[in-house]
Amino acid sequence: MKIIKYHPVLHKQIIDFCAKALEAGFTVVYPTDTCYGIACDPASKTGMKKFYNAKERTTTQPVHVIVADKAAAKKLVIWNKVAELLAKQFWPGPLSLVLPLRVEAKLLTTFSAGTQTLGIR
């Protein structure tokens, strides 16, 4: 485990370090507006296993995905007018939207736990 104390001057180095850790199959814990998040690379079987072990969950339990913005969300889920209104009002913030998973985002099917929907935040 490596703990990195954040400082704005180190932002790029921290992002690069975390990206390399995710590519290597590790998980990354990071602060959000309400709690800590756990990240993994969904293309990594090792990373996914570590992710579910860290969360003490099985793949039969859906988990949500944190996105950078609405544009990123729209690449993963089928966006609608209600989602647009809610995101405009509450994002960024503590609101998860559960929407149908896009076929193109099949890499994230495990996170949907077979529901074919994805919680995004």
CA-closest candidate to residue 38, choices 69, 61, 48, 13: 48
Q: Is the pLDDT of residue 20 over 90?
A: yes
Cα distances (angstroms) measured from residue 71 to each of 12, 54, 79: 22, 29, 10
Cα distances (angstroms) measured from residue 61 to each of 39, 55, 57, 96, 114: 16, 11, 7, 16, 9
pTM over 0.75: yes
Mean pLDDT of 63-90: 94
10 Å Cβ neighbour count for 95?
12
Q: Is the pLDDT of residue 33 over 80?
A: no
The tokens for 34 are: 């309400």
Q: Is the pLDDT of residue 37 over 80?
A: yes
